[in-house]
């Protein structure tokens, strides 16, 4: 599903070069639930952005569902993001002027799905995350936990095989956090591949596989039951 | 994302920031409305002036003779002979002077023109009631008079002047007709005058010299030839070009058209500059908007918006803003030109071409000045846009 080979990322700020990822290789199979942990600044988000085709590697390759991302044009990458990947961000990243329903419809708009089908799907996924009674609320009229569930519904709207979540519980209280994690597990059972960045070791422990990153390198990769 | 959705999105964006959108539009509104107002004033006055010139008669050539001391002028027969040539359909020699017209207790000082029956066609002078001069009036030096509409109003009010007797410089004249109103032109009112047979006028004014001759050429093409012949004949007679002048109506028209055309173009150009300034306003606001919405762009890109989707979103927004501005500008321009017209008592002409041009230009301004910001937004890297604070 996701194949990363010798991935490096170097940031240049002024005259100093900062290598954030050092020859990282990682293979994630369909329907895995992978938790990525590591200290702050170790390069977790950088790796995630690379998997999500939001950023381009300095060297090495990322292959998503048999598509080598380095050979794709920007529009093709946009299509991958639209059809293969659902993002859940720490800061929700909802569009503040659109209500819950419209936010969830967004990926389908860019896919060119017609209005009826779009609405139907958006309602379905908002119901799935338990927000069928908040569909016409603006993000500012929702609690943090509810906003993040809208973001989950949006990530799901395009029915992507891969869900990427970068510290999705970071801005939530522990109860909402737990609910969110259980939603992710349910999605995993439904067949989505989940990659989850977290600082919470308890959450990480529930994952089938835990990848530990330190200083831009993978220092351990353990599967549940190992 | 299709075009409809882009328009909906743009309208939502405009509604989301009403005050700013309005201020952005203001530049275009002012630009378009001033283009329409100024050009309509320019075209209106052109039409008015050319209308006046044309109302003097078609294919008209005016010869004016300035009697210089010592030099003998033209008498009536000579004047008729001057106009008697191929290419000429009629000649109306005129003698003029100032007179006092009296009816009952009312007196009016006005100008008098003595002329012949040809004057009606040559100068395109109709009567609103009664009849015009006839050849017989000229031959028998009839004491008959046609009153200009202003003179008639002053002497008779709403009464019927026909067949009444008025006194011109103390001599009795019978009113046979009222001249149709012509309005005022650059030379003053055309309705403040009286017409009598030229032969009668010579006696009344004790002056047999013709002061001007109005000559009508048969066709437009004849005008130049006739003018040349007249000039040659006049030079032979008067020896000095200062003693006469030949006006050619067509030439006058083209001069006027040229002047007012340039004026209109200049006014339009000045207004066009304000439209340009409006466009720069759009660009400015769009750039601010792109910066402000960088995160939104990042989010949209993260969930699959392509470059062209973002491009379209911002470009359509710019064009929608400028088009709404254009439409409002047209409405205001329309009202403004009507208002200005009635306020300053000038005629204004709004031509559809100018409206279309102004609207087209405002849309173009939107595309042109929206392009750069839209492109800037579309080119943002998704991760950079997402990280933007
Ligand atoms: N655009 C950038 N330019 C320069 N350096 C960057 C940039 N983005 C990230 N970095 C650096 O890369 C390193 C890794 O950042 P990254 O966001 O991947 O860390 P992280 O593991 O996600 O940390 P956290 O747990 O705090 O989110 C950091 O040291 C950061 O300073
Ligand atoms: Mg991070």
Q: Clarify whether residues B340 and B232 are in a common domain.
A: no
- At B168 the pLDDT is 94
Better-predicted residue by pLDDT, A171 or A218: A218
The closest CB to that of B302, out of A54, A83, A112, belongs to: A54
- At B18 the pLDDT is 87
Distance A43 CA to ligand 2 centre (A): 7
pLDDT at A118 over 70: yes
- At A216 the pLDDT is 93
Q: Which of A82, A87, A110 to mutate to test the interface with B (most CBs of B within 10 A)?
A: A110
pLDDT at B185 over 80: no
Assess if residue B153 is contained within a domain: yes
Assess if residue B60 is contained within a domain: no
Kindly identify the ligand whose nearest atom is closest to the C-alpha of A40.
Answer: 1
| Beta-carbon separation of B302 and A52 below 8 A | yes
Distance A166 CA to ligand 2 centre (A): 7
Q: Which helix (H) or strand (E) holds B273?
A: helix B249-292
Secondary structure string (H, E, C) spanning chain A = CEEEEEEEEEEEECCEEEEEEEEEEEEECCCCEEEEECCCCCCHHHHHHHHCCCCCCCEEEEEECCEEHHHCCHHHHHHHHHHCEEEECCCCCCCCCCCHHHHHHHHHHHHCCCHHHHHHHHHHHHHHCCCCCCCCCCHHHCCHHHHHHHHHHHHHHCCCCEEEEECCCCCCCHHHHHHHHHHHHHHHHCCCEEEEECCCHHHHHCCCEEEEEECCEEEEEEECCC
Residue B74 confidence class, pLDDT cut points 50, 70, 90: confident
User: How many domains does chain B fold into?
Assistant: 2
pLDDT at B177 over 70: yes
pLDDT at B31 over 70: yes
pLDDT at B270 over 90: no
Q: Clarify whether residues B218 and B126 are in a common domain.
A: yes
Residue B199 confidence class, pLDDT cut points 50, 70, 90: very high
Q: How many CB pairs under 8 A join A and B?
A: 64
pLDDT at A226 over 80: no
Q: Clarify whether residues B84 and B177 are in a common domain.
A: yes
Assess if residue B144 is contained within a domain: yes
CA neighbor of B56 nearest in space, from B253, B254, B260: B253
Q: Searching chain A, which residue's CA lies closest to the CA of residue B309? A: A110
Find the range with the poorest average confidence among A81-85, A144-148, B146-150, B356-360: B356-360
The residue whose CB lies within 8 Å of the most ligand 1 atoms, and thus the one to mutate among A17, A40, A46, A48, is: A46
Assess if residue B56 is contained within a domain: no
Q: What is the ipTM of this complex?
A: 0.94
| Beta-carbon separation of A49 and B2 below 8 A | no
- At B68 the pLDDT is 56
Query: Is B304:A107 a contact under the CB 8 Å cutoff?
Result: yes
pLDDT at B71 over 70: no
Which chain A residues touch B300 with a CB distance below 8 Å?
95, 106, 110
Which chain A residues touch B5 with a CB distance below 8 Å?
109
Distance A40 CA to ligand 2 centre (A): 7
pLDDT at B113 over 90: yes
- At B1 the pLDDT is 65
The closest CB to that of B12, out of A78, A94, A97, belongs to: A97
Kindly identify the ligand whose nearest atom is closest to the C-alpha of B387.
Answer: 1
Q: Clarify whether residues B308 and B224 are in a common domain.
A: no
**Mean pLDDT over the full length of chain B:** 87
- Helix, coil or strand: residue B351: coil
Q: Clarify whether residues B230 and B156 are in a common domain.
A: yes
Average pLDDT over residues B85-93: 90
Q: Clarify whether residues B228 and B166 are in a common domain.
A: yes
Better-predicted residue by pLDDT, B251 or A65: A65
pLDDT at B189 over 90: no
CATH fold of A2-223: Rossmann fold (3.40.50)
Query: Is B316:B9 a contact under the CB 8 Å cutoff?
Result: yes
Query: Is B179:B125 a contact under the CB 8 Å cutoff?
Result: yes
- At B273 the pLDDT is 86
Backbone φ and ψ of A85, nearest 5°: -130, 135
Q: Clarify whether residues B229 and B104 are in a common domain.
A: yes
pLDDT at A101 over 60: yes
| Beta-carbon separation of B303 and A81 below 8 A | yes
The closest CB to that of B303, out of A74, A75, A106, belongs to: A106
Find the range with the poorest average confidence among B58-72, B259-273, B278-292, B319-333: B58-72
Residue B67 confidence class, pLDDT cut points 50, 70, 90: low
pTM: 0.74
Residue B209 confidence class, pLDDT cut points 50, 70, 90: confident
Q: Clarify whether residues B30 and B129 are in a common domain.
A: no
Nearest CA to ligand 1 atom 2: A11
Domain span at B79 = 69-239
Which chain B residues touch A97 with a CB distance below 8 Å?
12, 16
Q: Clarify whether residues B33 and B149 are in a common domain.
A: no
- Helix, coil or strand: residue B49: helix
Q: Clarify whether residues B27 and B147 are in a common domain.
A: no
Which chain B residues touch A54 with a CB distance below 8 Å?
301-302, 382-383, 386
Strands B144-147 and B193-197, by their bridges, are antiparallel
- At B347 the pLDDT is 82
Find the range with the poorest average confidence among A47-51, A144-148, B56-60, B64-68: B64-68
Nearest CA to ligand 1 atom 29: A41
- At B136 the pLDDT is 93
Query: Is B120:B152 a contact under the CB 8 Å cutoff?
Result: no
Q: Clarify whether residues B78 and B44 are in a common domain.
A: no
Q: Which residues of B253-279 are buried (b: 16+ CB within 10 A; e: fewer)?
A: eeebeeebeebbeebbeebbebbeebb
The token pair that represents B32 in the structure block: 């378009």
Residue B23 neighbours by CB distance under 10 Å: 12
**Mean pLDDT over the full length of chain A:** 93
pLDDT at B70 over 70: no
Q: Searching chain A, which residue's CA lies closest to the CA of residue B307? A: A75
Distance CA B380, CA B373 (A): 11
Domain spans of chain A, in order of start: 2-223
Which chain A residues touch B298 with a CB distance below 8 Å?
93
- At A188 the pLDDT is 95
Distance CA B378, CA B305 (A): 9
């Amino acid at each position: 599903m996701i194949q990363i080979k010798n991935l490096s990322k170097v940031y240049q700020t002024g005259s100093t070069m900062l290598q954030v990822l050092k020859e990282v290789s990682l293979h994630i199979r369909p329907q895995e639930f992978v938790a990525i942990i590591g200290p702050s600044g170790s390069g977790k988000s950088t790796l995630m952005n690379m998997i999500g085709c939001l950023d381009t590697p300095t060297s090495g390759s990322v292959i998503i569902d048999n598509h080598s991302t380095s050979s794709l044009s920007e529009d093709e990458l946009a299509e991958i993001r639209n059809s293969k990947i659902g993002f859940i961000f720490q800061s929700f990243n909802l569009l503040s002027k659109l209500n819950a329903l419209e936010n969830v419809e967004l990926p389908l708009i860019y896919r060119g799905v017609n209005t009826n089908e779009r609405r139907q799907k958006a309602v379905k996924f908002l119901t799935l995350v338990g927000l069928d009674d908040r569909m016409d609320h603006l993000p500012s009229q929702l609690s943090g936990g509810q906003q993040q569930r809208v973001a989950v519904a949006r990530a799901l709207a395009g029915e992507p095989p891969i869900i990427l979540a970068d510290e999705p519980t970071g801005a939530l209280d522990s109860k909402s956090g737990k609910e969110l994690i259980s939603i992710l597990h349910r999605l995993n059972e439904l067949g989505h591949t989940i990659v989850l960045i977290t600082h919470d070791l308890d959450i990480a422990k529930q994952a089938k596989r835990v990848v530990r990153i330190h200083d831009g390198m993978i220092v351990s990769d353990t599967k549940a039951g190992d | 994302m299709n075009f409809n959705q882009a328009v909906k999105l743009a309208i939502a964006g405009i509604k989301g920031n009403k005050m700013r959108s309005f201020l952005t539009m203001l530049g275009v509104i002012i630009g378009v409305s001033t283009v329409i107002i100024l050009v309509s004033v320019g075209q209106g006055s052109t039409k008015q002036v050319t209308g006046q010139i044309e109302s003097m008669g078609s294919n008209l050539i005016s010869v004016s003779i300035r009697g210089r001391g010592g030099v003998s002028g033209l008498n009536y027969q000579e004047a008729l002979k001057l106009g008697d040539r191929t290419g000429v359909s009629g000649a109306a020699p005129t003698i003029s002077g100032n007179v006092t017209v009296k009816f009952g207790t009312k007196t009016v000082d006005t100008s008098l023109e003595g002329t012949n029956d040809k004057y009606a066609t040559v100068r395109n002078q109709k009567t609103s009631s009664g009849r015009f001069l006839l050849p017989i009036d000229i031959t028998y030096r009839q004491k008959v008079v046609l009153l200009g509409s202003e003179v008639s109003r002053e002497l008779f009010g709403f009464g019927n002047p026909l067949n009444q007797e008025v006194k011109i410089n103390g001599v009795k004249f019978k009113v046979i007709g009222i001249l149709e109103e012509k309005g005022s032109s650059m030379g003053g009112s055309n309705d403040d005058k009286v017409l009598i047979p030229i032969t009668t006028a010579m006696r009344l004014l004790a002056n047999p010299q013709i002061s001007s001759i109005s000559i009508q050429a048969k066709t437009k093409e004849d005008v130049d030839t006739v003018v040349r012949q007249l000039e040659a004949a006049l030079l032979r007679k008067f020896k000095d070009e200062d003693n006469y002048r030949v006006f050619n109506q067509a030439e006058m028209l083209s001069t006027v058209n040229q002047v007012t055309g340039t004026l209109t173009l200049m006014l339009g150009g000045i207004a066009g500059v304000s439209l340009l300034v409006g466009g720069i306003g759009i660009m400015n606001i769009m750039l601010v908007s792109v910066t402000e919405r960088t995160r939104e762009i990042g989010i949209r890109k993260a969930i699959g918006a392509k470059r062209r989707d973002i491009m379209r979103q911002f470009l359509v927004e710019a064009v929608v803003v400028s088009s709404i501005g254009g439409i409002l500008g047209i409405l205001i321009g329309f009202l403004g030109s009507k208002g200005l017209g009635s306020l300053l008592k000038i005629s204004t002409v709004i031509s559809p071409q100018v409206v279309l041009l102004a609207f087209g230009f405002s849309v173009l301004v939107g595309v042109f000045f929206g392009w750069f910001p839209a492109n800037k937004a579309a080119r943002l890297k998704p991760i950079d846009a997402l990280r933007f604070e």
